[in-house]
Structure 1
Amino acid sequence: MASFPAFSAPRLFSFIEFNIAFVLGLSLPVILLSILIRKSVPNQWYYFSGIMCGVLGFLYSLIYFEQIQIPALLSFAILTLALIYIWQISSATREDEVQKSGVTDYFAMSVKVLSGVVIIYLFSVWFIPQLDAYIGWLVASSLVLLCGASFIVIQSRMKHTEVFRHVGQWLVAGFFVCTVFFWLNAQVDVLWLILSLVSLFIATMVNGNWYLIKRIFDQINQSQIEESKQLNAQEMFSFMHDPATNLPSYQQALIRLENLFKQENTARYAVVVIKPINFEHVNEVLGHQNSDILLLQLAYCLQKQVANNDNLINFDYSNQTSRLARLQSLHFLAVIDVTHSHYPEKILVEDLCRQLAEAVPEAMSFKSFSLNFELACGIAFVGEHGKSVSEVIAHAGDAVIVAERERSLFQYYNAQDSLYTEQQLLKMERLKQDIENDSLLWLAQPIIENSSKKITGFSLKVKWRHLGDDYIELREFLELAENSGELYQLSKQMIQNAFKLLCEMKKNNIYQPVSISLSSTDILEPDLVDYIEEQIKHFNIAGKYLMIELTEPVMVVACDRAKSMIDQLKMLEVAISIDDFTGSYESLRYIRKLSVNQVKISCEQLQPNAENSAEKAIVNSLINLARTMKLPFVASHIDNKEVLKMYDVMGGSMLQGHVISGGIPTGEISTWIKQWYSKNPQAETKK
């Protein structure tokens, strides 16, 4: 074996010993932690242990191996250097991105090259003394650094954010290689050798355990995420159940039924949707918070009644049994399996509806408030009335609407009802288009003073025809207009057409009011008053020639809003009339309160026969009441001469109806006025 000069430094003995303790102090806790967590966080703790042994062996060689110091020192140095990059390459190989990129074979080959370099160099140092150990160190260490550089280049293509960390360690390793070479040639002090080694060890410990620290934090974060996803039993119950009734929620019912129908697709089920039809009154009186208490009582009674009915589907996944589920709004859901029943399925379903109705207490109370509930049930069959769960439930809900409308306990789904709904939607869309295109038929019905035949005003009417159907009046398509959201626009068109009609009347020297009917609370908006004021200015016609007709229900339901609107209209001198005057106490109170200008008395029910004596008495009393209150009144629906004669006997004067005219298109009003004056010359007056 070749002999190497021994380099001992007694003056630095304490410094080397300190670094040995320093390395041990840093390494042992890391190794211990890595071993303890290796099952939960897999790691390659043995590589770091090997590097620690190499560094300690290097330092011990400086102190104790004086005879074989250089071979031992170089052996520990090349072993440490190679293990550093074998560890890095092995750790990177475990990453998903590296495995997907297809460079694992190249990394495996790099590990083999590094292992070969170490074995060959160790063999040459110890068994081939003829070779120059210094040059051999440069060659072997350069190959290791070359493998490290190629690893960095490949990593930079996949994880460019980690390049700086790897490059930094590579530079420290290069500094260590150069320091060893210069120390062997006695060009640097041993202090630099120790500093470069410890620096490389610290860089390796930080860089090499980077993946371990990253995995630990990822594991902690993943555990926290999993814990946040896991709900305890109480949270799961709250998530899957309705808070007001403690019944399974609509989403829970859908999931349960969809899974059930997939498993037993040949079974036959009946879906029953239940609604307490008069519960809305509770919300209005008690408010939602207090009404939930009554709703909870009702749900408990219904659930208790059917808890032992094994034909009903259990919506609950827990140990509890829930035969009912809570749908949106006030609806409940029950699903009955009629596949293996010995009775006709309709008898089974109808008996369930009766059981539920019997479960409702005669009077449910909350403090001093009590109410008798009634149920309406809608029934639909899976397969027959829809394929999907949500579709069948929706159809059962449609049947509930029919049951509520007809005041019956239960109704089966009828496709004709859906067809009617679709037809209504089509009508709403067509009406909306006709209103937007101003394609409605506007008619002016004259108001005449019977004795003189004078024109005392016009009542503006509007009619609408859907496709090839006959024209229908406003009261017949008012609900469609409300549901389509176009009632406000229709009211604006009515106001505009009223002012156009006033312009035509002005051309014919008729200065009398035009009345329009606003028969919904939806139109009692301040914007409508502003629009009337705009039309007054635009057409330069005084507001006193416009008369707004309000129905008694609108006055009663929206008294405050109506009074506010009437006060604003009064400021514009717009007249107010009560349509379909009934003489009730409420209407009289509002007439006195709101100071109306006129009332209209309907004579639609008057017929010239003895059986109609009650109607005659009612109309006669209304006329006397209006005369006593000194209220101007107009009789509407005077549609034939017999009714006109009866009205005249009662002392009436102003009237409108088919006996005069059913309605004149507003564009033909001038022609009609001329014809009326030619037939009744005494009616023509000048302003």
Structure 2
Amino acid sequence: MSYAERALRTLSAGNRTLLRAQDETTLLHDMCRVIVELGGYRMAWVGFAEHDESRTIRPVAHHGVEEGFLGLAHFSWADGDSPDARGPTAKAIRTGQPVVIQDLQHIPEIQLPIALAESYKRGYAALVAFPLVIDGTVIGNLTIFAAEADAFDECECKLLAEMADDLAFGIAMLRMRERHRAAEETIRHMAFYDALTDLPNRSSLGETLATEIAQAQQENQSMAVLLLKVGRFQEISDTLGYQEGDHLIAEMAARLRQIAGPNKSVARVGEDEFAIIMPRSTAEAAMRVAHHAMREACDPVDFAGLAMDPHAHIGISLFPGHGNTPEALLRRAKIAAVQARRTACKYTLYKGTEDRESTRRLELMSELRSAIDQNELLLYCQPKVSIRSGEICGAEALVRWQHPQHGMIATGEFIALAEHAGLIMPLTRWVLEAAFRQSYAWYEKGIKRPLSVNLSAQDLRDPRLIDRISGLFATWALPPELVQFELTESALMEDPAGALETLDRLKELGVELFIDDFGIGYSSLSYLQKLPVDSLKIDHSFVTSMLTNSGSAVIVHSTVELGHNLGLGVVAEGVESEALWNRLQELGCDTAQGHFVGRPIPTAQFDDWEAQSPWSHPTPGGGAALH
């Protein structure tokens, strides 16, 4: 078999190794083994070029008749007259070019490093050292020894050089895969764990609770859910500052984690609420834990020398007596926590067979349908400001419901009502019509202010959505750039293929498209590249905590870079402070939205607000004349 045939066989076996590789360490060792066992070479080793003071070459994998070769000397790729610097591997790393020694026996020992000076004793007659290059940077070497002198002719070196390039590519791909895996894990952790306490959040608890309910049903067991509400959280946050509010929540989380122990799940399910799941527990056992929690977890908390009682209270619900779904158990535990505020011990079981809250929800569902039909809803909008120029660059359309008896209904509550009542698409129709009317009113005044409308997963499945939007453009004769659409990442992932088709049709209308709440929907980069979108909106949960949570900071920074690398604009939601604004400006984020920029206001008041807003008078440096 010729040397070229041997190299070709080695290249083929190396390619198969690359295809099967799952991690970098295994790839390097398997490649060295293939070179020796299938290629018939004497020894092969891979090293990485360190950038320490002595520029060490660190051996990371080898195979063959090594016999202490890699321990003979300190391998270095430093430039100079030292024996190590004259070595072929060092030269290959420095120059980025292969280095061949055809006959080690006839080279004077004084011209070689210590390791190569004794190579012939170990059966090495010839060697070739290849640089491993990733993105133009030499990261290390692949060095191969043969037992025959004159082994590495031009043809053989060309084939082996191709294998070295393939190995470098494989290392790069595995490292990229590992970075993506770490980023995905970070995103998943942020989506299912609370940034402040690192406890499971409400979504994570819902999954855990569903599993525990199924297990309890299978084993014919009962279980308990405790919901602890910290009564003074809002007061402390408003009086002492949000840092002290965070300190209170973090302290309560640590205490509850210690009280719960390993057999109970603790989660933060609201701004000032924690839940404890107690599998295989009775009402009596739950009451004991609640009593213990009130005695131990609810001791005063120190705030820079000022001790304050958290004023916590605990509600308890039981499976199966109080519900057989996570939502029912959590809701009734919360009702019980409200009831517990009026008791001396500050904890109680859920009481009552009639759920008054459910009755109210049913009534509100019916009244919401009427409010949509009778045009009794209100259109608000929240401004968006260009971080670079400090100017208002648009607004997001938001719907509000002023109930005649109950006052302003919380947005989250009536959106949930609309989802349960099948009213999402009628509600979207109302918002679309109101947004187009408002955009036309602005346009007639000469104001070209883009107004964005949110579309839900249900809206994307509406076969009449595109025709309805096209009809509104025809009715009001608006330029397409004045109406934008925002779609949550999670909505897109419910039906990726269908969502892509809808987005393509929307894009044909000439509108701008935003991915809302980006970072919590697990869309792949390959899918993101296919979407005809213009901007990403970073979810507020990452933005609001980016100054205090390193994971959030990484997500925000990475999303800004990702968006810009894909040619997309980036909008940060939840910009609540000047410090957040300044950090986003440093990162090069394009647009800000949040209470620091401006709270949602009725559209009829927007012009007056803008006239008095500091954003209407941006400073030359790109900010607003604020503080």
- TM-score if structure 2 supplies the norm length? 0.43
Structure number with higher strand proportion: 2
Structure having the higher Rg? 1
